[in-house]
Amino acid sequence: IKKVYLENLNKTFVTTANDQVVAVNNINLKIEPGEFVTMLGPSGCGKTTTLRMIAGFEMPTHGNVFIGEENVATKTPDKRDTAMVFQNYALFPHMNVFDNISYGLKIQKRPKAEIKERVERILKMMKMEDFSQRVPAQMSGGQQQRVSLARALVMEPGVLLFDEPLSNLDAKLRIHMRDEIRKIQQKVGITSIYVTHDQEEAMALSDRVVIMNAGIIEQEGTPQEIYQRPVNEFVANFIGRANILDGEIVGIDEGEVIVNIHGVGFTVKVYKKFDVGQRVRVVIRPEGVLVGKKDFTVKVDKSVFMGQNHEYGVDFFGSNLEISENNPTGKTIYKIGQQMGIGFDQQALHIL
Ligand code: ADP
Ligand code: MG
């Protein structure tokens, strides 16, 4: 169980047309021993390249990768004490489950009895004892992915790396497997770095989420911090749904400001310095908009019953505002074209 430290890490690819592509742009990141950290960002933002530099499949253009106390930036993958779980499972098709899982231990020339004991222990933990003689083609995607996780775990690496391991599975199995990964990770306590473009997966799994965009880190924090206090519009829009409103600071108090949003003042907690008169952007999540208040009167453009929530879209001073009303049973349902009174939960307002 090791810590990981990425120092000023950069990967610049040179294409055949001699163009430079900065895939990872000088990132710095510290991961504590036993921590589960997810790197989350849109396709092409540099997640896989970062993970491959940690694993040693890709050499940095410059910068360092520390695993434990050791700088491994120029070491080959087998010298790094990492194991990786891939999106496409990457199992050997002609080998059965037992042989797939034991492969790395055989390469390390471990004694036969030890290999048997370790593989059987992992199979038991993964509830896969009955599958040990099957080949990959005789298993479902979820079962194959479990074997691929077992193959990584059996090595007892200092750091476990995951590159979108669940994206080939259907929605239901994906949720089941992510809960299972989290459970196993907590049981073994292994440092884990998980790459995904799925924000729900990131929030469900992680101690800490790192938001990446175009080769840089936009923000890192617990799922709650990222959701409740995004640092910019990119993060606000990437994690969950966000309404972003124009406001103006009209008063300042200790740790709080009064922000005027279309003529109504709201008292909002702040985490950085603002000046009176400053124009700002204010984030409010759909569930932070309160139906039935009298701060604003708006016209309903969308009204959809979703079971747990009722989803509205309303015209708010010429822009669309999304509202999610929890536990709609027994409450007034507004139809498209109707007028509705709304307000904002002051605690849910966040100023960028
Ligand atoms: P992600 O995993 O977040 O989708 P990647 O790390 O795979 O992103 O890619 C980041 C950027 O680097 C992309 O613009 C991609 O096209 C580019 N890239 C990745 N690998 C190579 C390569 N071998 N040669 C040139 N460009 C690459
Ligand atoms: Mg990728």
* CATH assignment of the domain containing 33: 3.40.50.300
> Which mutation among 18, 21, 197 tests ligand 1's pocket best, with the greatest number of atoms within 8 A of CB?
21
Q: Is 288 a residue whose pLDDT tops 90?
A: yes
Ligand 2 ion: Cβ-proximal residues, 5 Å cutoff: 48
Shared domain check, 248 and 227: no
Report pLDDT digits (tens) over 145-177.
Answer: 899 989 999 999 999 999 999 988 888 888 988
CA distance readout (Å), 52 to 69, 168, 206, 339: 19, 20, 20, 54
Report pLDDT digits (tens) over 167-220.
Answer: 888 888 889 889 989 998 998 899 999 999 999 999 999 999 999 999 999 999
Q: How far is the first Cα of the chain from the last one, in angstroms, to the nearest whole number?
A: 37
Shared domain check, 341 and 231: no
Give the count of beta carbons closer than 10 Å to the beta carbon of residue 335.
8
- Residues 169, 153 contacting (CB under 8 angstroms): no
Number of structural domains found in the chain: 2
**Average pLDDT of 257-276?**
96
Shared domain check, 35 and 11: yes
* CATH assignment of the domain containing 320: 2.40.50.100
Shared domain check, 321 and 257: yes
Ligand nearest to the CA of 52: 1
Boundary-marking domain end, from 170, 205, 236: 236
Shared domain check, 183 and 290: no
Using CB distances shorter than 6 Å, the residues near ligand 1 are: 13, 15, 21, 23, 41, 43-49
Shared domain check, 247 and 232: no
Which ligand 1 atom minimizes the distance to the CA of 212?
3
Measured between alpha carbons, how far is 6 from 9 in angstroms, rounded to an integer? 6
Measured between alpha carbons, how far is 208 from 229 in angstroms, rounded to an integer? 14
Boundary-marking domain end, from 204, 236, 268: 236
Measured between alpha carbons, how far is 194 from 7 in angstroms, rounded to an integer? 18
Measured between alpha carbons, how far is 203 from 223 in angstroms, rounded to an integer? 5
Shared domain check, 277 and 202: no
Segments forming the whole domain that contains residue 341: 243-351
Shared domain check, 296 and 224: no
Shared domain check, 312 and 250: yes
Question: Whose C-alpha lies nearest to ligand 1, atom 1?
Answer: 44
* CA 197–ligand 2 middle distance (angstroms): 8
Report pLDDT digits (tens) over 35-45.
Answer: 999 999 999 99
Shared domain check, 290 and 156: no
The mean pLDDT value of the chain amounts to 94
Which of 82-86, 172-176, 203-207, 229-233 shows the lowest mean pLDDT across its residues?
Answer: 172-176
Shared domain check, 159 and 252: no
Shared domain check, 191 and 321: no
Boundary-marking domain end, from 220, 236, 252: 236
- How much is the ipTM here? 0.98
